[in-house]
Structure 1
Amino acid sequence: MKDQNKTFKGNKRLHNWFVAILLAGTFTMSISQSSLSTAYPTLMRYFGVTAPTIQWLTTGFMLVMCIMMPISPWLLSNVPFKRLFQAVLVMFDVGTIVILFAPNFPLMMFGRVLEAMGVGILFPAYQSVMLTITPEKSRGVTMGIVGLVMGSALAVGPIISGVVLKFTSWQGLFVIFAIIITVVFLLSFKFIANVMDLEPNHLDFISVISSLGLIGLLFVINQLGKANVNWSEQFGLLAVSLIMLAYFVYRQFHIKTPMLELRVLKTFNYDLAVLLTGFSYIALIVTTIIFPLYYQEVLHLSPFASGMALVPGAVFLSLLNPVTGKLADQFGFKWVLLMGMSMITLGWGILFIFSSSIGLSAMIILAMLIEGGNAFVMMPAMTLGANSLPDSLISHGTAVITTVRQILGSLGVAIATIILAAVTQNRLSAGDHAAIANQMGYRAVFFTFFLVAIVGLMLSILIKNSEKKS
């Protein structure tokens, strides 16, 4: 493989601009993934639709994004990166403009699909690019910055949305997205370079079609806990989806040029990195969704106040991400991963044990502890996974990690929702007061993710600071 660093040799300014523009575009797109939940009530009134319908703005976004991720390595190998990055920006910008002027919900949903296609391509691609242009000994710091974008954007999305909605209409949020992405697009002509080596090959359309099983799998996961679901149909869809995915996996191992090189999973350290990244993502996304509900339903805060209560955790996560990358480069990944999973485990454990007596200040501190633990795990684990693979497989490795992370995150949210609803209803049926029933529902959620964190902690013990495979 050629040395992609030659593009920036002797030109640190160009390198810094390249990274800044890449991260600005990705940060904006990442915010769009999580920012709409705060605006649901407003959008329901504006378009005259129900809550299950409006949730498709996030659910549909996630489904489309996830199906685009496995195609990202093929695009990186067949399309010059500058052209690919610009195409993604245009796709996202067009989708945003469609949303801005959408007269009805179906057209807005179409705009979200366009946005999701761009995000699904860019998320694995930009991580692959950042890993490729960075020497292995410095990847911890670089991926710490990447984690700053990924984790912080997910955490601050609802916060930014809440602030914008307080001072303007829901369209204001998408105006901001459109302006930033347009500026990034214009700057990309000067500062984005073709840093990835091309290895043109044909796209295996059978693999593309069979990978659509991901949509079915995620769709069924998102039906968990919902009322009035036809489960005979859902189990049928799940069976078909699993068969499609099984064939997708089989095919990737038996064709000459797979769309997604799944042989990366034969590396044990990489497999551990995949799981740890997923477990830390579960902790982060469940925290950003469950904590605001707890603030409103148990502590009786307003939606705006509950959003503001997420700020300290998001800031702490942002500050720690670059630091943890530097620590990983200096002391090794195992120590950092153990530290992170210990923080996440401790946070959920305290929540479970003392949930009946925890006030707002303690909740904020525990959110900081869990989100801080995420900074020690998610991107360091991804970097460790990349370091365990040959450079030629990095794009495939990041695509696999990103896709699995998204699936596990969706599963985590679905499980949290089911447990919260089921336990609360059971306690109400047993005659408990509504406040006590609610409290017990959240306690069960905290206990569940305490157990998940313990499993992650045990996996982090198995990590080895191994050298890259040849």
Structure 2
Amino acid sequence: METKHAMSPLTRFLFIATMLIGTFTMSISQSSLSTAYPTLMTYFGVSADTIQWLTTGFMIVMCITMPISPWLLNNMSFKRLFALELILFDFGTLIIYLGNNFPIVMLGRVMEAAAVGVLFPSYQTVLLEITPEKKRGTIMGVAGLVMGSALACGPIISGIVLHYTTWRGLFVFFMTVITLILIVSFFVMKDVMVRKETKLDWLSIFYTLGLVGLLYFISEIGRGNANYTELGIILVVSLVMLTLFVYRQLHIKNPLLDLWVMKSFNYDLSVLLTGFSYISLIVVTIIFPLYYQQVLHVSPFISGMALVPGAALLSFLNPLTGTLADKFGFKSTMIFGMCMIVIGWGLLTCLHLTNIWGMILIAMLIEGGNAFVMMPAVTLGANSLPDELISHGTAVITTIRQVLGSTGVTVATLILVNFTKMASNSGKSLPVANQFGFHAVSITFFVISIIGLVIAMMIRNTKKDSK
């Protein structure tokens, strides 16, 4: 088996570049549809709360496939696993392209999400495994270009494609790039992970469906026509399943997800921090385009391009923040980033902006802050664990981040819809009602960002321990 020690510098570069470009493209799909929501709502004849399931449903499926990644890394060649993920994503994208109704498109999104859900923790684990600990902050900063920048770039690329083609053109773009990466991967990808074959615990996989029920409950509880009895039953069943999942992981010999990683205090704080910063980033990429179109009345193309400065700053800062964390310590780096995020949401709370340039500056502040928090938190979490638990630790931190992100998008959407409707019913004009709804979202995430700042202040070590 080939390992990191057998890779020449050129082979290593091509390996990492192929993996990151493939993951970057697949990551773009997570947030790319936000700019296209109004177009898709008209095309399929569905409401905003239905169309948002193309994003929320995507994130839910990611959540239930992420815990499987440690088992797959232990039981399958990474080269084969990477290729299978690309093929599954490509096939799902083809289904979306050919789909002529919302359920078919949703099926394609589920397939895309399953591929991305496995790949996200896998590629981070591989990067951490093949990188010396003293250089992990820097390499994970580069990986942040995938996690953060791709998320921010999704609406931008969507806006550009929609300006020149129909919504189907977006998925032609995904298929083209992923197919090329698949071809290249056959020549440059290597099997770099030490495998430890175990039997797949199907009962644990079944218990993870509790995540679906929990996130469904969160998404539906705020609707005016919600069936509270039905939702109450779903919540209880989901919590029981998740409790059984946790109990089983702590008591079986070969757990699907080794939750003993949670016994490290710094790791637990890192999990929360990466989740809180991710919430801010994904809410900006989903909600800001809606604000630009519904309040500022700009086109999908302009709303996508308005996210370019924030995405560019995030892309520029991600590699630098990893180096800063390695040099000056993780705590100070993450506190600085959370302060930027708090200030950004605080300005949105205090100001009623009707100027797109002011919104762009605030988006840059929040996205720039994310660069100082999300990937440094992942690296700190990995450094808190022994090497044999890194794959499990990465899967846990990625899953919880995705759950919090899914919850953040759902909560933001519910607050936006309900507060806008409340203002409209009280006699306010639609533009004023829309602004009222977005202001309520800003207040909510300002409070959440403050909690994140408190967590950052609780991090114990400012510099990595030498081993």
Q: Same fold (TM over 0.5)?
A: yes
Amino acid aligned to 1:345: V
The CA deviation at 1:428 is 4.4
What is the CA–CA distance in structure 1 between the aligned matches of 2:404 and 2:108, rounded to whole Å?
26
The corresponding residue for 1:40 is 37
Matched position secondary structure for 1:98: helix
Alignment of 1:7-406 (within 5 A): 7-8=6-7, 11-47=8-44, 49=46, 51-353=48-350, 355-356=351-352, 359-406=355-402
Amino acid aligned to 2:57: G
The CA deviation at 1:234 is 1.5
Partners of 1:309 and 1:364 within 8 A in 2: yes
The CA deviation at 1:49 is 4.9
Deviations 1:231-256 (A, max 9, x none): 22112111111100000001101111
Partners of 1:225 and 1:421 within 8 A in 2: no
The size of the alignment, in residue pairs, is 466
Q: CA 1:439–1:129 in structure 2 vs 1: closer, same or farther (change >3 Å)? A: same
What is the CA–CA distance in structure 1 between the aligned matches of 2:41 and 2:423, rounded to whole Å?
31
The CA deviation at 1:44 is 4.3
Partners of 1:264 and 1:397 within 8 A in 2: yes
What is the CA–CA distance in structure 2 between the aligned matches of 1:401 and 1:321, rounded to whole Å?
19
The CA deviation at 1:180 is 1.2
Amino acid aligned to 2:268: D
Larger CA deviation: 149-158 vs 368-377:
149-158
The CA deviation at 1:302 is 2.6
Larger CA deviation: 446-455 vs 207-216:
446-455
Partners of 1:342 and 1:373 within 8 A in 2: yes
Q: CA 1:356–1:113 in structure 2 vs 1: closer, same or farther (change >3 Å)? A: closer
Larger CA deviation: 305-314 vs 66-75:
305-314
Partners of 1:7 and 1:195 within 8 A in 2: no
TM-score (norm 2): 0.94
Q: CA 1:298–1:99 in structure 2 vs 1: closer, same or farther (change >3 Å)? A: closer
Residues 1:457 and 2:456 are matched in the alignment: no
Partners of 1:124 and 1:398 within 8 A in 2: yes
Amino acid aligned to 2:394: T
What is the CA–CA distance in structure 2 between the aligned matches of 1:55 and 1:423, rounded to whole Å?
17
Matched position secondary structure for 1:463: coil
Q: CA 1:12–1:380 in structure 2 vs 1: closer, same or farther (change >3 Å)? A: same
Matched position secondary structure for 1:356: coil
Deviations 1:330-362 (A, max 9, x none): 111111101100100111112212x22563222
Amino acid aligned to 1:401: I
What is the CA–CA distance in structure 1 between the aligned matches of 2:243 and 2:207, rounded to whole Å?
9
Matched position secondary structure for 1:193: coil
**Amino-acid identity (%):** 60
Matched position secondary structure for 1:301: coil
The CA deviation at 1:325 is 0.7
What is the CA–CA distance in structure 2 between the aligned matches of 1:180 and 1:297, rounded to whole Å?
32
TM-score (norm 1): 0.94
5+ residue gaps, structure 1: none
What is the CA–CA distance in structure 2 between the aligned matches of 1:231 and 1:370, rounded to whole Å?
36
Partners of 1:211 and 1:248 within 8 A in 2: yes
Question: What is the aligned counterpart of 1:417 among 413, 416, 427?
Answer: 413
What is the CA–CA distance in structure 1 between the aligned matches of 2:209 and 2:58, rounded to whole Å?
15
Q: Supply the RMSD in Å over aligned alpha carbons.
A: 2.1
The corresponding residue for 2:4 is 5
Q: CA 1:313–1:167 in structure 2 vs 1: closer, same or farther (change >3 Å)? A: same
Amino acid aligned to 2:444: T
Partners of 1:389 and 1:469 within 8 A in 2: no
5+ residue gaps, structure 2: none
Amino acid aligned to 2:4: N
The corresponding residue for 1:444 is 440
Partners of 2:329 and 2:464 within 8 A in 1: no
What is the CA–CA distance in structure 2 between the aligned matches of 1:170 and 1:442, rounded to whole Å?
26
